[in-house]
Chains A and B, each alone.
Chain A
Amino acid sequence: MIRTLTRSAAIGPVVADPYPWPYDGTVKADRVALICIDWQADFCGPGGYVDRMGYDIELTRAGLPGTARMLAHARATGMLVIHTREGHSPDLSDLPANKRWRSAQIGAEIGAPGPQGRILVRGEPGWKIVPEVAPLSGEVLIDKPGKGAFYATQLDLVLRTKHITHIVLTGITTDVCVHTTMREANDRGYECLILSDCTGATELGNHTAALRMVTMQGGVFGCVATSAGVIAATVAANPTGEGHDI
């Protein structure tokens, strides 16, 4: 028999910067969402959008092993797993003119043919999530037209319907889509934790600056920790019973 951590698992306090996370001590796993942001081939796959812009995709791929570990942990403990994808409808009717113009200026126009299909268009190969952190059947997928996962999506409705109060963030890029989403979540009252080993940016300096910004002023947007820190701080709420045997 293997005893697994089950839906009675509790998380916290996690060793985090600048305070032991969460602010309210511990949280039941079923009140926590693991949000995996934009692990798409366009951002971290060879020949994708970011690769075509000339950035080193090893930097955006750096958080994949940690995120894979966190996904396994979240699934075992009963966290809500959510994946986001940035992209636009094939007719580009949800693409703001300035976003299209800017992408064209840097030679990777959204909607134009790319090495992995039309760039950032829903359904194209480059838009899909890379296999290392692929969603399982039944997990929540949020398609977003912007950098933030809350704007013009059903994310907030899903979180409130599932009684989620705490959010753990992985994904790319740290300073753009992950940070925008963390800021949106923070303003909505969710207690947020960003994982330094499960995120990455197109420039290392932007990654480290974005993480440090979170920690200032007593944790202005929440906390920073590692996947190992979360896993170590997860315990069965009642280790002598209640667990499900498989």
Chain B
Amino acid sequence: MTSDPLTAGPITVPADPGPFHCSPAHTALLIIDMQRDFVEPGGFGETLGNDVSLLRSVIPPLQRVRAASRAAGMAIIHTREGHRADLTDCPPAKLNRGEPSLRIGDAGPKGRILIRGEYGHDIIDELTPRTGEVVIDKPGKGAFYATELHELLQVAGITSLVVTGVTTEVCVHTTVREANDRGYECLVLSDCVGSYFPEFQQAGLAMIAAQGGIFGWVAPSAVYLDALSALCPAAVGAATGEEWS
């Protein structure tokens, strides 16, 4: 038996471009920006003309993935993109770019847009963080820049990330790129990440697995759940319960 952690993880997920190995004790489930303003009808994302149904399709599989990952003992980390009420952490280039009809901080349909503490900034009810789950507030697209995420993962001994959330080519991709440069192994679950633009969903996933997995691995949630259930039958029950709850 080899003791190489890269090849001897307790679970193996068939993935693109090859098998993804990880140990649940050293793996975190990252749930990126499942916020009302991005995902719900009537939110900021929809007022910009986006079809939020493309993002909402990730909710049921992501609920199953969270339940199973919790049952397997994995750390669960949520992120939220947003800014302080006084906007002191919002760069002018982000605030003013492109002369948007609605700016960050303006009154929106679910409170001030992308402001911490507002209703629209918070995570959707279907995925409300549970006791023990971590919430990281980030001012940018990437979850590592100007946050405590890296330090938190180091302290917890996390070496691998299972990545979910929205949107695939913006915040998910930026975070996976940051994680990859920091040496984390990332598995992106293809049906648990979503984009307003189908072409970017496809291109974004293809870019992750290109060149031998230049940023990480990609697999559908079903094979991830299968791999977890082989290790931990309770994970399946948890996922199934979540589906019908």
Contacts A203-B210, A210-B203 supplied; 11 other A-B pairs, CB < 8 Å: A98-B6, A151-B182, A176-B211, A184-B178, A187-B142, A189-B94, A190-B93, A205-B203, A209-B200, A216-B197, A218-B100
Query: A residues bordering B, Cβ < 8 Å?
Result: 18-19, 22-24, 53, 96-99, 101-103, 105-106, 145-148, 151-152, 175-176, 179-180, 183-184, 186-191, 202-203, 205-206, 209-210, 212-213, 216-222
8 CB contacts below 8 A, A to B, read A53-B211, A96-B182, A99-B180, A105-B18, A105-B212, A188-B145, A213-B169, A218-B100
Measured CB to CB, the nearest residue on chain B to A176 is B214
B170 on the A face (CB < 8 A): yes
Main secondary structure of the interface of A (DSSP, over half): loop
User: Within 8 Å CB of B204, what residues of A?
Assistant: 213
User: How many angstroms from the CA of A225 to the CA of B1 in the assembled complex?
Assistant: 54
Q: How far is the CA of A53 from the CA of B96 in the complex (A)?
A: 42
Contact: A23 with B177, CB < 8 Å? no
**B230: Cβ under 8 A from any A Cβ:** no
Inter-chain CA distance A116–B152, complex, in Å, is 40
Contacts of A19 in B (CB 8 A): 97-99
Q: How many B residues are at the interface, by size bracket? A: 35 or more
Residues of A within 8 A of B210 (CB): 175, 202-203, 206
> When the two chains form their complex, are residues A151 and B200 in contact, meaning their CB atoms are under 8 A apart?
no
Residues of B within 8 A of A221 (CB): 141
Do B6 and A97 touch (CB < 8 A)?
yes
Given A98-B183, A188-B145, decide whether A219 and B97 contact each other with a Cβ distance below 8 A.
Answer: yes
> Are B180 and A147 in touch, CB under 8 angstroms?
yes
Using a CB–CB distance below 8 Å, which chain B residues touch chain A? 6, 18, 48, 91-94, 96-100, 139-142, 145-146, 169-170, 173-174, 177-178, 180-185, 197, 199-200, 203-204, 206-207, 210-215
B residues less than 8 Å from A179 (CB atoms): 177
Is B97 within 8 A of A187, CB to CB? no
Contact B174 A183 (CB under 8 A): yes
Contact, CB under 8 Å: B18 / A189: no
CB distance from B2 to the nearest CB of A (A): 13
A23-B96 in contact given A184-B142, A187-B142, A206-B203 (Cβ < 8 Å)? yes
Q: A202-B211, A213-B169 are in contact. Are A186 and B100 (CB under 8 A)?
A: no
Chain A residue nearest in CB terms to B49? A217
A18 to B99, CA, bound (A): 11
In the bound complex, residues from chain B placing their C-beta under 8 Å from that of A151 are 178, 181-182
Which of these, B182, B206, B211, contacts A106 with CB under 8 Å? B211
In the A-B complex, the 7 residue pairs with the closest CB atoms = A189-B91, A187-B140, A146-B181, A218-B98, A96-B183, A106-B212, A209-B203
